[in-house]
A = this chain, B = another copy of it.
Amino acid sequence: MFSERVYNFAAGPSVMPEQVLHSAGSEIMNYAGSGMSVMEMSHRSACFAEIFEDAKSRLKALLKVPDSHEILLLQGGATLQFAAIPMNLLGQGGTADYAVTGNFSRLAAEEAKKYGNVHIACDSTPFGHNRIPDTVNETEGASYFYYCANNTIYGTEWQTVPDVKATLVCDMSSDILSKPVDVSRYGLIYAGAQKNMAPAGLTVLIVDRSLAGKALPITPKVMDYKVQIDKDSMLNTPPCWCIYMLGKVLRWVEDMGGLSAMEERKKLRAGLLYDYLDESRMFIPHAQKGSRSDMNVTFRTGDPALDEEFLKGAASQGLLNLRGHRLTGGMRASIYNAMPIEGVQALVAYMKDFEVEHRV
């Protein structure tokens, strides 16, 4: 039982800015004199339309989304997009290139095979996804090139945008809003919101309008990008509360100084952890230099029993959810935008103490 708030290193859903939660709590019974909670608001009401447009326009400004691209705020999660992407973008008889650099890009590639030809352009499975492959093997005339910008489970992150000819499709679920991005280079960027943006239940898409309108005939209407663009994400009821929270998080990002400030902050946070991991004689980082994620830092002691002791001790100090994914074991510190530097400092201090106490 914690009477104070803890440091929450969960991989997603994950820590949110305290100010955002506090603000949401303060108006939960009556939003801005509307006489009702945002949770009770018709998605067609003028009041919610303002909330919706506000979130969209802040996101557009922060990410400098060009007018060629449309922002969609949808339900279903990244996993639904694993199917929606080939349904919308593969075309009859088309081939798509997939970069497999972790669990979610592998799942995306598997799902796409239901709807057309999939070519694996690179695959880091043979080396335990501990780095992003140096080269990719493109298909001439591919419908699109798919990759996952940051691999939450393995703690690796593409350091540059893949240099390919095909339309770029990117799952940015776990590093969106952590740095400036040149949106114009992408046909589609999408992200589950539950890491850097909002509570679980919202999927953000940024799609080049010229790509929409070619969905396969078996595409569910609600998954058809053209339909959702035409309906401004409101073919059906959107996840209103998550959109409202997204707006608050975006305002917080602005207040903190925008995406460049987010990038500085993440470099600081991740630097503290990686510097210590590189000098430690006990903790072994999983991701190789040159591929390391600034969002998810994965490490282990090499001794599963010691890992357990580490996790137990951490939890007792309010350093929570440091257990690695079952596919990797060990530990994982997810340090998204909303993780204060003090959380990482506390974690590194605990790691140092733990190492001193347990060094053989």
Residues on A facing B (Cβ under 8 Å):
1-6, 8, 10-16, 18, 21-22, 24-25, 28-30, 33-37, 39-43, 45, 75-80, 82-84, 111, 114-115, 192, 194, 199-202, 217-218, 220-223, 235-242, 245, 318, 320-321
Which of B28, B40, B42, B76 sits near A222, CB closer than 8 Å? Answer: B76
CB pair B40 A8 closer than 8 Å: yes
Copies assembled: 2
Contact B35 A4 (CB under 8 A): yes
Can you pick out 25 interface pairs between chain A and chain B where the beta carbons lie within 8 Å of each other? A1-B33, A2-B35, A5-B30, A8-B36, A14-B40, A21-B37, A21-B39, A28-B28, A39-B200, A75-B77, A75-B80, A76-B222, A77-B237, A79-B222, A82-B220, A82-B221, A82-B222, A83-B223, A192-B237, A194-B237, A200-B238, A200-B241, A201-B239, A241-B241, A241-B242
A110 (CB) vs chain B CBs: closest residue: B221
CA separation between A34 and B201, bound complex, in Å? Answer: 21
A241 in contact with B3 given A28-B25, A83-B220 (CB within 8 Å): no
Supposing A13-B40, A33-B3, A239-B239 touch, asked if A201 and B28 sit within 8 A by C-beta, the answer is no
Shortest beta-carbon distance from A150 to chain B in Å = 16
B residues in contact with A33, CB < 8 Å: 1-3
B-side contacts of A218, CB under 8 Å: 114-115, 218
Partner of A199, one of B1, B24, B30, B240: B240
The answer to whether B37 touches A222, judged by C-beta atoms less than 8 angstroms apart, is: no
* Complex Cα spacing A136 to B80, Å: 35
Residue of B nearest to A37 (CB): B21
Q: Is the CB of B222 within 8 A of A83?
A: yes
> Are A29 and B25 touching (Cβ within 8 A)?
yes
The answer to whether B2 touches A30 (Cβ under 8 A) is: yes
Residues of B within 8 A of A240 (CB): 13, 199-201
In the complex, residue of chain B having the shortest beta-carbon distance to the beta carbon of A338: B40
CB distance from A149 to the nearest CB of B (A): 18
